[in-house]
Chains A and B, each alone.
Chain A
């Protein structure tokens, strides 16, 4: 059907998208995209935010109907048949499964219940157990996805929850499995084990579409890579012979300049924690007896899987929490109370983890978001009366200085892309030349261009003499930026060691809990 005269691939096609075009008003989200996937193939789908990956997958899933083009999927006999558009049920029935970045699990149900949920009538009083269990056991044995099926999902780790999600898809006899940013929440070891599983599944004939930002994973796992840019397919090539630089260039459309990071000249300690505990002792995300020092002019990275205590650390620094025990000092002054406004006044610049919920207010304008933390300062208000013109003028300057792409200071911030939203947060934080910058997952969900920009700004803040506390799950980012790295696991913080002496594997092991408690 799609003959390739030079390298005929013997494996049968399972999925074929031809000429998919989707327009939203004047925006062409997908522009005549062709994509073939064969049985047993692992194909990477790469692209920056807004390149059209999500739209394409939504069309495949029937959430959108394509304006032009068609989707065909192999039936049980291996014959390609057109998939009716606009029906999620048809897509599921045809054997398309997807594991989203944010899991769709009922946390109060067990893994077993989650897997069979939706495959049986809602009216059946009892879940049919035995046959289903046998099938799941077989799938676990075949794929190597071992997980306890009988505890509530809420008690499983993120990696285990992901296994439930994959089993859920396999249980529905998928022929095409789409994994959306599957490693974003995993430790390196968990990611390795996921890669092994994916290879095993592909070996049994499953077609896998792997969506990721992490280029080294794509290169290691996938045999073919499809790159989208601006809604169009710009490359469809084997991964053999490609390297990270070429792929990044294809995604962005221009060469990415290497990051420049001058040597650090650490100054006096700005933040120091002495035996600090934060958060209720029963909470999962808490900090116990932690010691940490962050000096001016250095970036200290905190590695760890989300929910191991970095949230508590960030809350303490951001002023949302007070220490339960121990002593936290900022420039020698004690941080005793939870006082966000006080932290800002004391010179803490805070880049929150969730820029949508904490960092910005969608209903407000760019200018209002820009002054959110300093609204009570005299330059923004006089006797309770807002100085709108002055606020707008300074926001306009910041928009220019930080290259925020938006219609203007009066635009609603929710209309901005994630990267531009983060630029507004950066502008708000860095414009005031903070003593300490808390960067909590500062590049999560951002594309390469925006990520590079955030990194450049953080390094610049360090060059200016600010202390930077970088909390991230992305080890590449931590190693690229940090002067010293500490690992947090189950509430315990390891000593911060010079990044030069560490490697990704050691930090990965510590993230999984090996050697953190003892070292501390």
Chain B
């Protein structure tokens, strides 16, 4: 019996909002199946993954620390995705921002430089990410190349560039040949929020980004033109909106926020440059953006959920000897489930009696 997808004209907002919950549920079912296949008790595994971290003050802090970069990057991606520009390379922009920001930290290392270093690093981080993001934007505007491919490929360019720097020119001479830079000076590190613990000022920046983005996307001319470019490019062009400016704009914003996340992470929890500075935040943030319905507040919630999979994954690695890949599988399943749920919200599946000619 053939099936047909029928587009629905009036999408109920309730269904649109409920789709992520359904997707989460599906992911849990698939996850339970996976645990059974791996020979583990799914109830225990879920407890370790999703329940235990919530009861411990240390892991709760860690949850917020992990959610912050996802949130910053995800909010930036919302600009792109709302405009129907598919920036898949936030991970590369994150690295580029971290590298450019860290350059200042290393250049001022051991000098008397004062409190201006960290703010300047953050600005440089944002600039680095934005510049990296503008490359696919330029290639799309100038040559019509797919930003999906170019932004993704630039991730590897950035990662290998970072790899070269920490193994070569920026390697700590006293580091016993470990591929890492010197530890940043205090003036180049994110201040902690409570004097101790893990919560750092980057979390405040991420929350500020949510507020500003909600306002810009919802109430301003900029948000309106992004919406237009995304939903009806032809009509937008006819009405006189400049598509190129939107492309450059959303890639710059999204790159800047990813770059900012990168430098915050390096100047915060990590404290130095090393070959790997992200457990895939730039890719996981794509899931956060989609799960959060491209709305900054939604992305805030989604980032916490996804951060939980990171924390739970670490716990499961220790107590159940599950590989980190299980976390990746969770995140991937969640993305597929949310995309599928979106299709089912927008379309209705109808059985067609009798095959029609192709």
Question: Which residues from chain A sit less than 8 Å from chain B, CB to CB?
Answer: 86-90, 117-118, 122, 318-320, 339-344, 350, 352, 357-364, 368, 372-373, 375-376, 381, 384-386, 388, 414-415
A87–B219 CB distance below 8 A? no
A352 engages B238 (CB within 8 Å)? yes
Q: How many residues of B contact A (CB 8 A)?
A: 26
Distance (whole angstroms) from the CB of A193 to the closest CB of chain B? 29
Q: Which residues of B contact A339 (CB under 8 A)?
A: 240
CB-CB under 8 A from A117, the residues of chain B are 357
In the complex, whether B22 has a CB less than 8 A from a CB of chain A is no
A87 with B353: CB separation less than 8 A: yes
Q: Please determine whether B224 and A386 come into contact, CB atoms closer than 8 angstroms.
A: yes
Contact residue among B220, B227, B240, B356 (Cβ-Cβ distance under 8 Å from A89): B356
Residue from B9, B219, B236, B239 in contact with A386 in the complex, judged by beta carbons closer than 8 Å = B219
| B43 on interface, CB distance cutoff 8 Å | no
Q: How far is it, in angstroms, between the C-alpha of A340 and the C-alpha of B243 when the chains are bound?
A: 12
Separation in Å of the B164 CB from the closest CB of chain A? 42
Quote the shortest CB–CB distance from B67 to chain A (angstroms): 30
Complex contact A122–B232 (CB within 8 A): no
A384 engages B232 (CB within 8 Å): no
Task: For A388, list chain B residues within 8 Å (CB).
Answer: 219
Binding site for A on B (CB under 8 A): 9-10, 219-222, 224-225, 227-228, 231-232, 234-241, 353-358
Q: Which residue of the partner chain B has the closest CB to A373?
A: B239
**Can you list 20 A-B pairs, Cβ within 8 angstroms, ordered by A?**
A87-B354, A88-B354, A118-B358, A320-B238, A340-B237, A341-B241, A358-B238, A359-B235, A361-B231, A361-B236, A363-B227, A363-B231, A372-B228, A372-B239, A373-B239, A373-B240, A384-B220, A385-B219, A386-B219, A415-B9
Q: Is the CB of B238 within 8 A of A89?
A: no
Q: Which of B221, B234, B238 lies in contact with A375, CB distance below 8 A?
A: B221
Asked whether, in the complex, the Cβ of A363 is within 8 Å of the Cβ of B221, the reply is: no
- Beyond the given pairs A86-B353, A87-B353, A358-B235, 13 more chain A to chain B contacts, judged by CB atoms under 8 angstroms and listed by A's residue number, are A88-B356, A89-B354, A118-B357, A340-B239, A344-B240, A357-B235, A361-B235, A362-B231, A373-B239, A376-B221, A385-B220, A386-B220, A386-B221
Which residues of A are found within 8 Å of B358, using beta-carbon distances?
118, 122
Q: How far is the CB of B236 from chain A (nearest CB, A)?
A: 7
Collect the chain A residues with CB atoms within 8 Å of residue B236's CB.
Answer: 361
The chain B residue with its CB closest to the CB of A360 is B235
**In the complex, chain B residues whose CB is within 8 Å of the CB of A122:** 358
- Chain A residues, CB < 8 A from B219: 385-386, 388
Whether A358 contacts B234 in the complex (CB less than 8 A), given A386-B220, A415-B10, comes out as: yes
The answer to whether B232 and A363 have CB atoms under 8 Å apart is yes
Contact in complex: B354, A357 (CB < 8 Å): no
Give the chain B neighbours of A360 by CB distance below 8 A.
Answer: 235
A357 contacts B234, C-beta separation under 8 Å: yes
Q: Chain B's nearest CB lies how many Å from the CB of A186?
A: 27
Q: Which residues of A contact B353 (CB under 8 A)?
A: 86-87
Which B residues touch A415, using CB under 8 A?
A: 9-10
Q: Are A372 and B235 also in contact (CB < 8 A) when A381-B221, A386-B221 are?
A: yes
Greatest chain B CB density within 10 A among A89, A122, A344 is at A89
Are B224 and A375 within 8 A (Cβ)?
yes
Q: Which one, A86, A318, A385, contacts B238 given CB within 8 A? A: A318
* Distance A339 CA – B237 CA, assembled complex (angstroms): 10
CB proximity of B218 to chain A, nearest CB, Å: 9
Q: How far is the CB of A438 from chain B (nearest CB, A)?
A: 11
- The complex places the Cα of A467 from the Cα of B160 at a distance, in Å, of 62
C-alpha gap A390/B329 in the complex (Å)? 49
For the complex, give the distance between the alpha carbons of A414 and B235 in Å: 13
Chain B contacts of A359 at CB under 8 A? 235, 238
Q: Bound state CA distance, A85 and B92, in angstroms?
A: 56
Taken together as a complex, chains A and B put the C-alpha atoms of A312 and B356 apart, in Å, by 38
Give A89 to B358 CA distance when docked, in angstroms.
12
Give Cα distance in the complex from A414 to B10, angstroms: 9
Please tell me if the beta carbons of B221 and A414 are within 8 angstroms of each other in the complex: no
Report whether A414 and B238 are in contact in the complex, using a CB–CB cutoff of 8 Å: no
CA distance A362 to B7 in the complex (A): 14
Q: A89-B355, A385-B220 are in contact. Are A340 and B240 (CB under 8 A)?
A: yes
Q: How far is the CB of B219 from chain A (nearest CB, A)?
A: 6
Contacts of A343 in B (CB 8 A): 240
Residue numbers in A under 8 Å from B238 (CB-CB): 318, 320, 340, 350, 352, 358-359
CB-based contact B232/A361 at 8 Å: yes
Complex Cα distance, B354 from A375, in Å, reads 49
- In the complex, residue of chain B having the shortest beta-carbon distance to the beta carbon of A342: B240
Smallest beta-carbon distance B141→chain A, Å: 15
B222 contacts across to A, CB distance below 8 A? 384
Q: In the complex, what residues of A have CB within 8 A of residue B220's CB?
A: 381, 384-386
For the complex formed, measure the closest distance between the CB of B83 and the CB atoms of chain A, giving whole angstroms.
13
In the bound complex, residues from chain A placing their C-beta under 8 Å from that of B240 are 319, 339-344, 373
State in angstroms the CA–CA spacing of A388 and B234 once bound together. Answer: 24
Most chain B CB within 10 A, of A117, A340, A350, is at A340
The distance from the CB of A363 to the nearest CB of chain B, in whole angstroms, is 4
Bound-state Cα–Cα, A357 to B233, Å: 9
Bound Cα distance from A119 to B98, whole angstroms: 62
A364 contact set on B, CB distance < 8 A? 227-228, 231
Determine how close the nearest CB of chain B comes to the CB of A314; give it in whole angstroms: 11
Q: Is the CB of B221 within 8 A of A384?
A: yes
Please give the distance in Å from B336's CB to the nearest CB on chain A: 25
Distance between Cα atoms of A352 and B234 in the complex (Å): 11
The minimal Cβ–Cβ distance linking A165 to chain B, given in whole angstroms, is 15
Alpha-carbon distance A360/B228, docked complex (angstroms)? 10
- Indicate if the CB atoms of B232 and A357 lie closer than 8 Å: yes
A350 to B224, CA, bound (A): 21
Minimum CB–CB distance for B234 against chain A, Å: 5
Q: Quote the shortest CB–CB distance from B84 to chain A (angstroms).
A: 12
Closest residue of chain B to A338 (Cβ to Cβ) is: B237
**B-chain residues with CB within 8 Å of residue A350 when the two chains form the complex:** 238
Give Cα distance in the complex from A342 to B240, angstroms.
Answer: 8
Closest residue of chain A to B225 (Cβ to Cβ) is A375
Query: Closest approach, in angstroms, between the C-beta of B345 and any C-beta of chain A?
Result: 14
User: Which residues of B sit under 8 angstroms from A88, Cβ to Cβ?
Assistant: 354, 356
User: Smallest Cβ distance from B228 to chain A, in angstroms?
Assistant: 6
Q: Tell me, in angstroms, the Cα distance from A118 to B357 when the chains sit together.
A: 6
Residues on A with C-beta less than 8 A from B10 are 415
Q: Which residue of A has the minimal Cβ distance to B215?
A: A385
Q: Can you name the residue of chain B whose Cβ is closest to the Cβ of A354? A: B234
Q: Is the CB of A90 within 8 A of B354?
A: yes
Q: Is the CB of B355 within 8 A of A361?
A: no
Give the distance in Å from the alpha carbon of A385 to the alpha carbon of B358 in the complex: 49
Query: Which residues of chain B have C-beta atoms less than 8 A from A89's C-beta?
Result: 354-356
